[in-house]
Amino acid sequence: MLNCSRKYSGTAHRRAMPLVLLCLFLMTLCLGFAAPSLAAGTAAAARQCVVQAGKAVESADTAAFEKLVDMDGILAAALDIFVRRARQPQAAADLPPMLAILFSQAASGEQGSATVRALLLNESRAFIVNGISSGAFAGRKVEGRAAQGVLAPLFADASIGRKEIRQVGEARAKNGDWLVPFTVYDHGNGESYRVNGKVNFDGGSTGRLVAVENLEALMGQVAEESRSVQ
């Protein structure tokens, strides 16, 4: 268990939250729409993939969510961005010392970096799975379900409030995939986010959200919000 000193227990954790909060964008998919029968690979079917993933969160169905969302792929992309940002001197100075060391090791490419990277990804995944299975990300009040795992202190300040879709646009084709834009309102922190999700069918009848095309911009937005609470 990491034991960061008390001086980092407030805003410092928030500065470490871009990766965590971007992980939560996976939870912020459309809620409450109808589920008509749609032809695979169409704009409507791509949009419906997002809708169904949101319903999986609402029903605390982690297995269904993982079928509809490439959680591992998106988390890996988010970690790549966060590690790159954490190598900047100012960003590193904003992190608790132990966390700064971990991200430095993950970016080093030296022996053991893969292990550190796997640890960060596994703990982020555990946080998301706990949030879905408990119903916390659907807006349900959860008792006695604290964040678990070695890096649990990192998630102490992450929003676990309901993620509500306020606007969803039409899907458009791009390089064999479909981009589905939607705006997210996070009831936990009162912020709104515009997300461009990429849905892929890969020859199957059911689409899967495989990436967030504007992930880096979103992480920049969250980082700016973190700095504003210092």
Does position 212 have pLDDT exceeding 90, yes or no? yes
Average pLDDT (72-99) is 79
Average pLDDT (27-44) is 54
| DSSP string across 161-219 | S-EEEEEE---EEETTEEEEEEEEEETTTTEEEEEEEEEE-TTSSS-EEEEETTHHHHH
Around Cβ 220, how many Cβ atoms within 10 Å?
14
Does position 37 have pLDDT exceeding 70, yes or no? no
Task: Give residue-wise pLDDT tens across range 165-179.
Answer: 777 788 999 999 999
* Overall pTM surpassing 0.95 (yes/no): no
Mean pLDDT of all residues in the chain? 75
Q: List the Cα angle 183/151/10 in 5-degree steps.
A: 70
Of the two residues 132 and 11, the one the predictor is more confident about is 132
Greatest mean pLDDT among 79-88, 119-128, 173-182 lies in: 173-182
Greatest distance between any 2 Cα atoms in the chain: 55
Around Cβ 88, how many Cβ atoms within 10 Å?
10
Cα–Cα distance, 68 to 54 (Å, whole number): 10
